[in-house]
Chains A and B, each alone.
Chain A
């Protein structure tokens, strides 16, 4: 209780200060955009870089003359990894700061907590992280992957010859909505591929779990029964102790490959990657992808990090959610140009079918109806320098299926966005 009121007091002062600032800037007319990422608390690890990426992208757009002749002005708030605070902050952004659009959220639980606010006030949220699907709000554009753009191709790869023809699967995750839903979908998918329940083991750990001894030795035991792969939806910094334990107990990627859905370049910065070589991750973008757009993107980011003296700037890396943030902001700007307005309804209409040449090397399209990007799927192997080597990718971007066909009842859901209630 004490902590929250302290934070409230802080935000009150901060917002007063912000109001004062915005008043002075009112002279030159700007378009305000909100950035809603945790800059403190457990999620700060992942979300801080998204905030910086959003600021860089806004600078980039402003340098080219802004949107509809007006400069963009970022309003940064810190919801402090506190899910109810996300809702409060988004209400503040929409009603007090009157932002045209908000870029933000990482965990599904934070998105779920702001969703009613955006739907009530008809705001616009761009959500940049891969997630479990099962949602399609007219007030949200999802620039991360839905399960069929990440999880399912990843498992298909593991079952293929090149992926090691896995027969048994350990579904290991942190205990919250994203891993639980993803694993539900994956279990149904594995059933459809003829994998029996005895060959699937689901294990969950609390957030911030740091002792993986038992789990790793169980994986070892399980893997004696046939070619096994681990599908990890472990989130946040629990990944470090998990991978360390894997290495120390001598479980190599050639024996039991681990494919992760929440481990990217940024997370690997905190790990000594030498023992992890050969383990996999599935994303829609890797920093190591070679194409001119990505080269510029990575260089711009490195230069931005250095110029703004971000912590660890000398080792700055890009990752998938950062790319999704970058693409999302650019697409919004293009849509606002097309609509000649930043009105939410007009922008929403203009977003349908919007395209952007993304750093992933593909031209991504915003679907005409379902508010999700068409994205390519890539599977990368961890290398000893903390980067990924792409070992498999789709030829074309694929369309998202937010309502996974592997969850019963989803076939009746409409393929266009409707408010959740």
Chain B
């Protein structure tokens, strides 16, 4: 029975440290906050494998004293120290992945007391990735080493990274009277320049990404309007509420998943897409058939009527779901982000939304340009009477086109629910931006909408760091007003013979 034997040995091994480290748990549980902090610091400096379990528990906020599990009251300082202590202990782990994570954590938070331990670990480390991560963590501490040669090596090593923290450390070192050795000072200056260059690249990429991301959100918000306003010419003030309905559909789908399929909750946004599309498309078509079609050609009345519809929809949602925002949670695959550079994290939800926005544009374009419905829509927008003469059922086409525009707004709502609030007023925040994008892009042009959305997004994000969010927004609005004065037809005008 070898397995049983192994198990027995394993159990004994597990039990052994328990006896020795039960004391640690007792000490910790009995200590006050500052004593706990001291304990954690000393554990971080002198880790022993048997304590891993205890610290792991602490990270979850639990401690077991005499076989009884207690919940701890931690604060942020203790949590930080626990993370460091745990990383210190994980350097002893067998799995190189764990060790790598630990070394990376220690780059940020290692304390001088850990220097000796890190030195030992580095000497014993076999994995090359972990080695380089660990030597970097060590370099941070070696900046104050008495031996100039060690400092020089550390400074050079820091220059290799693009860490924002390395920059501060080098800057501190270069303060007058801190570093006295001339050669280390010169090396620090070169390293600092190197780090700054790397950080600049990250910053620029980050700005470009946030511009793209804002652009994709504007695009999703405006794309539906580009059809209802751009192609059909309906000044649709209720467009924002279609976004809102899309977001609430997402919420309802999430609720249904929670109740009936909690196992598959991760994938609720995927089902929310078709649901939101059909719900908003249906609402849009009903509105078109009952109200808007009677008002074609009378833009002022349409404006008032659709605005009234928007108020009714807001109040309806308020009555049904309450005035408070509802909670739409990001599923795990949309939470967190991709670490590209040390100072550049691309959040998954934003990445997905950029891809999604482009996919929706492509689908819409295909629908409008490659299908019979699209042909009819274009024919009706260009010349309603002529299209009717040729046998195009203009009424039905109007209805379907309006439904399509609303449905796309619903899709936009699903995306918006993943980055912002879901509340009755959700649409109000986007309606102005949507009109701006469509008008700026040129009414009746899908391509114009795309360019305008990304242009506005990127311009906004270039201006924001320089002059702040409030002024940036004002400046953008001013620029658009000037632009529209100069070019009332927008970026792209419809070419050819358009009879209205």
Contact = CB atoms under 8 A, between A and B. Distances in A.
A381 B75 contact: yes
A257 B79 CA distance: 12
Contacts of B231: none
B79 A226 contact: no
Interface string A235-256: 0010011001101111001110
B335 to A, nearest CB: 6
A237 B167 contact: no
Contacts of A109: none
A257 B76 contact: yes
Interface string A192-236: 000000000001111011110111011011001110000000000
B290 interface: no
Interface in B18-43: 33-34, 37
Given A214-B464, A250-B337, A278-B76, A45 B324 contact: yes
A220 B167 CA distance: 13
Contacts of A237: 325, 421, 423, 425
B391 interface: no
Interface string B449-461: 0000000000011
A253 B421 CA distance: 22
Nearest to A2: B304
A272 interface: yes
A278 B78 CA distance: 11
Contacts of A203: 468-469
A42 interface: yes
Interface stretch (A62-70, A120-128, A159-167): A159-167
Contact of B335 (A48, A248, A311): A248
B486 interface: no
Contact of A210 (B33, B421, B464): B421
B470 interface: yes
Interface stretch (A91-99, A263-271, A283-291, A322-330): A263-271
B210 interface: yes
B325 A269 contact: yes
B422 interface: yes
Given A248-B349, A250-B345, A269-B324, A163 B76 contact: yes
Nearest to B319: A311
B63 to A, nearest CB: 16
Q: Output the residue of B324, B419, B461 with the most chain A CB within 10 A.
A: B324
A164 B325 contact: no
B495 interface: no
Given A215-B469, A272-B330, A225 B421 contact: no
A210 B417 CA distance: 12
A257 B213 CA distance: 26
B168 A225 contact: yes
A266 B349 CA distance: 25
Nearest to B422: A270
A166 to B, nearest CB: 10
Contacts, number: 157
A22 interface: no
A175 interface: yes
A50 to B, nearest CB: 12
Range of interface residues on chain A? 35 or more
Given A163-B75, A241-B419, A391-B73, A224 B324 contact: no
A240 B325 contact: yes
Contacts of B470: 175, 204-206
Given A217-B206, A225-B168, A270 B326 contact: yes
Contacts of B468: 203-204
A42 B469 contact: no
Among A214, A217, A220, the most chain B Cβ lie within 10 Å of the Cβ of A214
A312 interface: yes
B423 A164 contact: no
A220 B423 contact: no
A224 B469 contact: no
Given A217-B206, A218-B465, A270-B421, A224 B168 contact: yes
Nearest to A257: B76
A387 to B, nearest CB: 14
A248 B75 contact: no
B327 A270 contact: yes
A278 B79 contact: yes
A321 to B, nearest CB: 14
A275 interface: yes
Contact of A226 (B168, B345, B425): B168
B372 interface: no
A162 B77 contact: yes
A351 to B, nearest CB: 32
B227 to A, nearest CB: 24
A310 interface: yes
A2 B304 CA distance: 10
B329 A272 contact: yes
A211 B164 contact: no
Contacts of A175: 470
A363 interface: no
Contacts of A164: 75-77, 80
B214 A211 contact: yes
Q: 10 smallest A-B Cβ distances: which pairs?
A: A311-B322, A270-B325, A224-B164, A248-B347, A213-B210, A272-B329, A44-B323, A254-B80, A237-B421, A241-B420
13 contacts: A39-B323, A164-B75, A204-B470, A205-B469, A211-B460, A214-B461, A240-B421, A245-B347, A248-B347, A249-B347, A270-B325, A278-B79, A311-B322
Given A217-B206, A244-B349, 11 more contacts: A44-B424, A45-B325, A48-B322, A204-B468, A205-B470, A213-B461, A214-B464, A224-B167, A225-B168, A270-B326, A311-B322
Interface of A: 2, 39-42, 44-45, 48-49, 161-165, 175, 203-206, 208-211, 213-215, 217-218, 220-221, 224-226, 237, 240-241, 244-245, 247-250, 253-255, 257, 266, 269-272, 275, 278, 310-312, 381, 389, 391
